[in-house]
Amino acid sequence: MRTESLDFLKSLCNTPSPSGYEERIAKVYADYTKTFADKVETDRHGNTTAILNPDAEQKIMLAGHMDEIGFQVSYIEDEGFLRFRGIGGHDMSIPLGQRVFIHTDNGPIPGIIGRKPIHLLESTERDKTTPLHDMFIDIGAKKRDEIENEIMIGDPITYQWEFEMLRNNRATARGFDNRVGSFAVAEALRLLKESGSLDSGVGVYAVATVQEEIGLRGARTAAHRIGAQSGLAVDVDFAIDHPGVSKSRYGKCDLGGGPSVTRGANINPVVFRTIMQASKEDEIPVQVSAEPGGTGTDANAMQVAGDAMATGLVGIPLRYMHTPVELLSLDDVENCAKLMAGYCKRVKPETTFIPGT
Ligand SMILES: [Zn+2]
């Protein structure tokens, strides 16, 4: 991966962006895409869109959500402990014992998530996961008065984990889900710009959407506002290649095997065929995955917003989803951006996306 791109990916992953708190990461996205897009804009919801050919009538929306799961401060105890609530779907075996940052207006404050030690647990408590309301954050404060001018109710919280390279061009980060998707749509736009391969009658809207983790909310408003005829959502997908998961049950999806391409009711057949054509002709490996109903991704919101956008869904294989140590292959990330660019350059001003054509 070229250095500027890798720096951009690191920067996205290391910027806190729990759902509803995407202002900072939106700026990272806008600053990068500004260097090659014709136009970059942020809407009232916070979705940030980089555009090529903004005057074209045929429009393609590329969506990668830039929010991550996280927490927020809900109450400060007299003794200075913070109570907190989850933002998005957490694996409850993870929070305990983690280091966190509370992101205040004046910068991050470090803390840890605690509860009573194992020796003091009742026998009935030992085999159960601890609910969030029995945990608290300790920042070393002695009493509420000491911190209530620094920490505000509602301040977002993230784990301290950040981007790190591993072996074989694989990397780990907190919240690759789905800052890596925002990265992929930005890179697809850059590839289109640099190759000059996009039809001048086709506009591409690369959107870093907000609030996916709490109900696909940003993609819905962005899809309505842009009114594109077709669109691709990109999200992380479950890699089925480590102990404890079964290909027979969930299908094949290997890290490094290429982006997944979903097929089923959420996917317009013309869009699916165009993605597969791009894969074949541009020699990009893909892994087809079956999803009989609406998917739990932005593609679902996009398809049913307004008058039925023709949607496709591509996925970046990822291990350990919704933990602070999500792991993926940068080869898949680059191939995913190429695949989306390959789709866009095959769309023509006259393409209708009507099934059967
Ligand atoms: Zn997620």
Q: What is the average pLDDT across 141-160?
A: 97
Residue 352 lies in a domain: no
Q: Is the model's pLDDT at 127 over the cut of 90?
A: no
Both 204 and 249 in one domain: the answer is yes
Q: What is the average pLDDT across 239-264?
A: 96
102 phi/psi in degrees, rounded to 5: -95, 120
> Among 27, 68, 50, which residue's Cα sits nearest to residue 212?
68
- 238 C-alpha to ligand 1 centroid (Å): 11
Q: Give the Cα separation of 32 and 119 in Å (integer).
A: 50
Residue 36 lies in a domain: yes
Higher model confidence: residue 123 or residue 64? 64
pLDDT, one tens digit per residue, over 95-113 is 999 999 999 999 999 999 9
CATH number where 103 lies: 2.40.30.40
Q: Which letter, b or e, does each residue of 230-254 get, where b requires 16 or more Cβ atoms within 10 Å of its Cβ?
A: bbbbbbbbbbbeeeeeeeeeeeebb
Domain boundary among 106, 134, 159: 159
- 235 C-alpha to ligand 1 centroid (Å): 8
> Among 256, 250, 266, which residue's Cα sits nearest to residue 304?
266
- 214 C-alpha to ligand 1 centroid (Å): 9
- 321 C-alpha to ligand 1 centroid (Å): 7
Both 210 and 299 in one domain: the answer is yes
- 154 C-alpha to ligand 1 centroid (Å): 21
Both 256 and 298 in one domain: the answer is yes
Contact 46, 128 (CB under 8 A): no
- 201 C-alpha to ligand 1 centroid (Å): 34
| Per-residue pLDDT, 81 | 98
Got the DSSP string for 201-228? TEEEEEEEES--TTTSHHHHHHHHHH--
Domain boundary among 101, 128, 159: 159
Both 201 and 315 in one domain: the answer is yes
Both 247 and 329 in one domain: the answer is yes
Give whole-number Cα distances, 187 to 202, 226, 269, 325, in Å: 18, 20, 25, 24
CATH number where 269 lies: 3.40.630.10
| Per-residue pLDDT, 329 | 98
Contact 197, 53 (CB under 8 A): no
- 69 C-alpha to ligand 1 centroid (Å): 7
Both 197 and 302 in one domain: the answer is yes
- 63 C-alpha to ligand 1 centroid (Å): 14
Both 107 and 250 in one domain: the answer is no
Both 193 and 299 in one domain: the answer is yes
| Per-residue pLDDT, 204 | 98
| Per-residue pLDDT, 101 | 98
Check whether the bond before 168 is cis (ω within 30° of 0): no
Both 100 and 17 in one domain: the answer is no
Residue 99 lies in a domain: yes
Q: Give the Cα separation of 191 and 189 in Å (integer).
A: 5
Show which residues are catalytic: 212
| Per-residue pLDDT, 321 | 97
Give whole-number Cα distances, 207 to 14, 85, 262, in Å: 19, 28, 20
Q: What is the average pLDDT across 30-58?
A: 98
Given pLDDT bands bounded at 50, 70 and 90, which one contains residue 205?
very high
Residue 355 lies in a domain: no
Helix/strand number for the chain, H first, E second: 10, 17
Dihedral angle computed from the Cα positions of residues 206, 208, 210 and 213, in that order, rounded to the nearest 10 degrees:
100
**Domain residue limits at 266:** 3-68+175-346
Q: Is the model's pLDDT at 301 over the cut of 90?
A: yes
Residue 266 lies in a domain: yes
- 178 C-alpha to ligand 1 centroid (Å): 7
Residue 357 lies in a domain: no
Question: Into how many domains does the chain fold?
Answer: 2
Both 85 and 50 in one domain: the answer is no
Residue 353 lies in a domain: no
Given pLDDT bands bounded at 50, 70 and 90, which one contains residue 124?
confident
Given pLDDT bands bounded at 50, 70 and 90, which one contains residue 126?
confident
> Among 227, 182, 186, 233, which residue's Cα sits nearest to residue 56?
227
Residue 170 lies in a domain: no
Both 268 and 225 in one domain: the answer is yes
Domain boundary among 129, 159, 189: 159
